[in-house]
Amino acid sequence: MKNDQYLIDQMSPQESWRIFRIMAEFVDGIETLSSLEPAVTIFGSSRSKPGDRYYTMAEDMGRKLAHEGFTVITGGGPGIMEAANKGALEAGGQSVGLNIVLPFEQKLNPYTNIHINFRYFFVRKVMFLKYAMSYVIFPGGFGTMDELFESLTLIQTDKMKPFPVILIGTDYWGGMLKWINETMLMEKMILAEDTSIFTLVDSPKDAVEIIKNTKV
């Protein structure tokens, strides 16, 4: 308690007001997203371009999910996020963008019919988790890896109800999964059952079948 009081005492008035901005983002997210149909969150690189292999696959993924009645949630930016939102919106589905305000790369794509702008990454990640019944992970960079491993950690530690975490693309993820199995597992840094938290597929069709067979 002494340490907690010390931290509070050290906060400037401006830092104290930040608490209310954080609370406001949580309230906005919950009020906006709580009435959604069962939703699937799709992650992937913001640097993928229209016509790229995985951009095309993400667009197909969004379209297929919308046809099955699922809401599609993305980070709202360009690349894979834009593709998934575009597929969902053009198929007549709910297309959600949870955009993060950044000084470069990220800006809200034009293919959402529900969107929120966030200042804080951690609030945004809570919204991704809270309202998704599955994660689909396309190839991406550090941000995509962060979102992937946070979901795996929360499921592994029973802090979140298990749901499908689906990786798209053997070519991209195969090396990482080989390392997980041959290094992390062999060194006993994880348990054998931890490797069943995620599934690797190579097509949106296979991913959608897994999601359809999941009990909400």
Q: How far apart are CA 137 and CA 150, in angstroms?
A: 12
Q: Are 124 and 106 in contact (CB under 8 A)?
A: no
Global pTM value: 0.89
pLDDT tens string 110-133: 999 999 999 999 999 999 989 999
Q: Is the pLDDT of residue 13 over 70?
A: no
Question: Parallel, antiparallel, or unpaired: how do β-strands 134-137 and 165-168 relate?
Answer: parallel
Rounded to a whole number of angstroms, the distance between the first and last alpha carbons of the chain is 40
Domain that holds residue 123: 2-212
Q: Is the pLDDT of residue 107 over 90?
A: no
* CATH code, domain carrying 59: 3.40.50.450
Residue closest to 29 by CA, chosen among 134, 94, 89, 118? 118
Burial track 43-58 (b if 16+ CB lie within 10 A, e otherwise): bbbbebeeebebbebb
Report the domain count for the chain. Answer: 1
Q: Would you state the pLDDT for residue 52?
A: 96
Q: Is the pLDDT of residue 152 over 70?
A: yes
